[in-house]
Amino acid sequence: MFPLRLKSDTYATLTNFFSYVTTQFGATVKAVQSDNGREFDNSSARTFFLTHGTHLRMSCPYTSPQNGHAERIIRSVNDILRSLLFQASLPPSYWVEALSIATYLRNLLPTKTLAMSTPHMALQPPPRLQLHVLS
């Protein structure tokens, strides 16, 4: 979860995300799905995806059913976020913190796609090598 103030921050955040995934999980991003937003459909983003071997999938224009799954996830996260802020009696200025917690909670829910496992468990970082120095 990377909240953006401006859509122009997308490219820098995207490059940071790719580095994060590689470093923390030892994985690569295989595909990115976009709803035809110009923040992904530009020459620098396309070049970035090509150099990283990432497939950019664009939804067909005016076909909201293609974005249905993502829209449902966004709606669920927003519902959790609003509930957290309301129950804690916090002002909207805590939106980013509540979004982070809502995303974390959403990733703790089991899903059929992962055979009732959770996204949190499926994306555990690889074990780190431990160096023992004997003296």
Spatial CB neighbours of 104, under 8 Å, sequence gap ≥ 6 = 120
Chain segment 83-124, per-residue pLDDT in tens: 999 999 999 999 999 999 999 999 888 988 888 888 888 877
Contact 99, 1 (CB under 8 A): yes
Chain segment 23-82, per-residue pLDDT in tens: 988 889 999 888 777 888 888 899 999 999 999 988 877 777 777 777 888 899 999 999
CA distances from residue 124 to 22, 38, 45, 80, 107 in whole angstroms, order as listed: 13, 32, 28, 23, 12
Query: Per-domain residue ranges for the chain?
Result: 1-58, 63-112
Instruction: Assign 131 a pLDDT band (cuts: 50, 70, 90).
Output: low
pTM for the whole structure:
0.71
